[in-house]
Structure 1
């Protein structure tokens, strides 16, 4: 009985230790930053994530005042996802939409926007109202929430400890008889 109780206690402790496996990659920063105005449009946008994303299915679409200006496929360098822009990209408002595969295999999506005063083609844009879109985080779409896994871990640990305690007390009573 003691071995069973020890095994249940060890299993309970193992289950109680939360791991990072429940967390998806999170967009930490962008260049250009969301909602900013840059003097000159950079030749690429850079998205930095909390972990190194997988190349599988990586998509970054940059839309400017004249439509899409993404050039080629995004590249991954460490935690950075880089998307080159077409040399004909004009000045104006830009929206970047992304979908990457988290290092745990789950998709992470979102959008952000910025304004470029001068485009790569040398054209200038008048300062207009930039639409700011809040990036969609994993917690917003319900995939990255740690509440449910932690709650299940706590409840499961309490149940296992309760069963283990009951078995220990029961074996002690049986030894006395």
Structure 2
């Protein structure tokens, strides 16, 4: 009985330890990089995440001097999300907004920007102030997504400890009889 109780307690402690399995994907890097100036506008932007995102609900919107500059739907290859840029896009300031479904099913959103001196259409742009915005994920998304696993871990641990305690007490009563 004591061995069973010890095994249950050890299992409960393992379950209670926090893991990274519940963490959302994070944007690790972009090409072009956030806040940079590039000589020529690339034909696409690439967002690299910490884990391979799901294809469902993937949205990447590229906005430039003439407005929307995205061309087609984004493609996902491994951890990279690629969004093509329209071939008639001029040089200037660009903002990329994204909403990607994390591999745990939760949305990851953010924005970054860059400046292109020469557009895909060959036009040039005067160097202007580039808006520098850090990619962000909603704080509410992160907190609510961890609430359920944390509660399940606490409840599971309490149940396992209760079962272990019950078995230990039952074993002591059997030893007395």
TM-score band, normalised by the shorter chain? 0.7 to 0.9
SS of structure 1 residue aligned to 2:48: strand
1:101 alignment counterpart: 101
CA separation in 2, counterparts of 1:146 and 1:46?
Answer: 26
Residues 98 and 109 of structure 1 are in contact (CA less than 8 Å); yes or no, is this contact kept in structure 2? Answer: yes
1:24 alignment counterpart: 24
For structure 2, the residue ranges without an aligned partner over 5 or more in a row are: none
CA separation in 1, counterparts of 2:127 and 2:21?
Answer: 44
Q: TM-score scaled by structure 2?
A: 0.82
Q: Tell me the CA shift for residue 5 of structure 1.
A: 3.1
Task: Provide closer, same or farther for how the CA distance between residues 101 and 40 of structure 1 changes in structure 2, counting only shifts above 3 A.
Answer: same
Task: Give matches, 1:38-77, under 5 Å.
Answer: 38-77=38-77
Would you identify which runs of 4 or more consecutive aligned residues in structure 1 move more than 6 Å?
144-147
Task: Give matches, 1:123-142, under 5 Å.
Answer: 123-137=123-137, 140-142=139-141
Range 99-108 or range 71-80, more displaced: 99-108
2:115 alignment counterpart: 115
How many correspondences in the alignment? Answer: 176
Residues 92 and 118 of structure 1 are in contact (CA less than 8 Å); yes or no, is this contact kept in structure 2? Answer: yes
* 1:82 aligned onto 2:82: yes
2:142 alignment counterpart: 143
